[in-house]
Amino acid sequence: MAIKKIGVLTSGGDGSGMNAAIRAVVRSAVSRNLEVAGILRGYEGLINSEMISMNHRSVSNIISRGGTILKTARSERFMTEEGQRQAVEVIKDHKIDGLIVIGGDGTYRGAHILSTKWKVPCVGVPGTIDNDLKGTDWTIGADTAINVALEAIDKIRDTATSMERIFVVEVMGREGGFIAIEVALGGGAEEVVIPERKFDVQAMCHEIVEGNIRGKISWIIITAEGAISGQELAKQITDITDLETRVVVLGHIQRGGSPTAQDRNLATRLGVAAVELLLKGESDKAVGIVADNLNVVSLEEALKPKPVKGDELYRLIKITI
Ligand code: F6P
């Protein structure tokens, strides 16, 4: 079936660079004389038939903007058979021949169901700060998130050093420690706690006390939200060492900000690749970049666990403190 019209949506947690990906999808589709429907609010908006017609101009001046002009949501309704049926009806009513979905694991799961169960051609573009999708070295938004977090950690270091304090900094990562381990290494943190590695609070406290005896008086400890919360970790450190500990939860600032060059260019490469893949008649696939080359995997493969380099990077963190 020749593709004449495509739909594009962003779903799940937003990440910086999603707009650059939307821009690339729209402009490459328009250059191939395709019609483009921008679906608002992810799968939820699809069910509700919230759509805008997009052209070259619709994506002017968004390459540098964080967030997503199409808005995003997490849809409970799309998890149900009834929600999916409604979404498929909307796709048919609008004569959409294929979908490009930009998002993380939940977005990919939705696209996998749409393509396999409901026979709607779908291609996934990896957009999540978590960098937890296989088939790509980096997901769109991850580089900006770690740079935003690093900037904050650098500022925390200024006050930590001046006031000779222990700071626990909680970063995002419910399931994985990608952001935590990257910013710990880049920010010169003394310790990091991630879900993928066992951690021993007693040993950490022993190291702090010993370090303080040697004259080391400021500490930056990073924790991924899914390992242990910043509040809880700080409480445990204070209970054991009797040292005052401050907590900073970086939270959603990690999802905002103007995308880095890496995220913009990744998004542009992958947005164009996704359109080209759909035009080749492919479906149930995800695009990515591995070792600087375009890579295509099945959505199912992309959803398999992606290990972080926890041990390797942790070793470097400990060698360089
Ligand atoms: O998946 C992206 C992410 O930012 C995670 O790192 C984080 O745990 C979660 O989303 C937060 O979700 P919400 O914005 O719904 O609170």
Distance 260 CA to ligand 1 centre (A): 20
Arithmetic mean of pLDDT over the chain: 97
pLDDT recorded at residue 1: 74
pLDDT at 112 over 80: yes
Per-residue pLDDT reduced to its tens digit, 17-48: 999 999 999 999 999 999 999 999 999 999 99
Distance CA 229, CA 286 (A): 33
DSSP per-residue string spanning 241-271: H---EEEEE-GGGGG-SPPPHHHHHHHHHHH
| Residue 282, helix vs strand vs coil | coil
What 8-state DSSP symbol labels residue 39?
E
Distance CA 258, CA 46 (A): 27
Distance 103 CA to ligand 1 centre (A): 12
Residue nearest atom 1 of ligand 1, based on CA coordinates: 13
More confident residue, 310 or 243: 243
Residue nearest atom 9 of ligand 1, based on CA coordinates: 13
Instruction: Give the atom of ligand 1 at the shortest distance from the alpha carbon of 105.
Output: 1
Q: State whether the beta carbon of 250 lies less than 6 angstroms from ligand 1.
A: no
| Residue 24, helix vs strand vs coil | helix
Instruction: Give the atom of ligand 1 at the shortest distance from the alpha carbon of 226.
Output: 8
What's the token pair of residue 61? 């001046």
Distance 48 CA to ligand 1 centre (A): 24
| 130 carries an active-site annotation | yes
DSSP per-residue string spanning 152-212: HHHHHHHHHHHHT-EEEEEE--SS--HHHHHHHHHTT-SEEE-TTS---HHHHHHHHHHHH
Per-residue pLDDT reduced to its tens digit, 134-170: 999 999 999 999 999 999 999 999 999 999 999 999 9
What is the average pLDDT across 49-67? 98
310 band by pLDDT with thresholds 50, 70 and 90? confident
pLDDT at 191 over 90: yes
Residue nearest atom 3 of ligand 1, based on CA coordinates: 13
For the chain, what percent of residues have pLDDT higher than 90?
A: 96
pLDDT at 100 over 90: yes
Residue pair 253/148 in contact by the 8 Å Cβ criterion? yes
What's the token pair of residue 31? 């250059």
Mutate to test the pocket of ligand 1, among 129, 250, 306 (most ligand atoms within 8 A of CB): 129
33-47, 203-217, 247-261 — which is least confidently predicted? 203-217
pLDDT recorded at residue 178: 96
What's the token pair of residue 234? 């700080």
From the list 14, 105, 130, 284, the catalytic residue is 130
Helix 230-241 and helix 201-213: axis angle, to 10°?
A: 60
> Which residues, at least 6 apart from 203, have a Cβ–Cβ distance to it below 8 Å?
none
Q: State whether the beta carbon of 128 lies less than 6 angstroms from ligand 1.
A: yes
* pTM score of the predicted model: 0.97
Mutate to test the pocket of ligand 1, among 132, 179, 255, 306 (most ligand atoms within 8 A of CB): 255
What is the average pLDDT across 166-180? 97
What is the average pLDDT across 246-255? 97
pLDDT recorded at residue 60: 98
Instruction: Give the atom of ligand 1 at the shortest distance from the alpha carbon of 179.
Output: 6
Residue nearest atom 12 of ligand 1, based on CA coordinates: 13
pLDDT at 15 over 80: yes
Distance CA 172, CA 14 (A): 13
Residue pair 123/277 in contact by the 8 Å Cβ criterion? yes
22-31, 91-100, 133-142, 310-319 — which is least confidently predicted? 310-319
Q: State whether the beta carbon of 172 lies less than 6 angstroms from ligand 1.
A: yes
List alpha helices for the chain, DSSP H: 18-31, 42-47, 81-93, 105-116, 142-163, 178-186, 201-213, 230-241, 261-279, 299-302, 310-320
Q: State whether the beta carbon of 105 lies less than 6 angstroms from ligand 1.
A: no
pLDDT at 220 over 80: yes
Q: State whether the beta carbon of 255 lies less than 6 angstroms from ligand 1.
A: yes
- Amino acid letter at 127? G
pLDDT recorded at residue 309: 86
Instruction: Give the atom of ligand 1 at the shortest distance from the alpha carbon of 173.
Output: 6
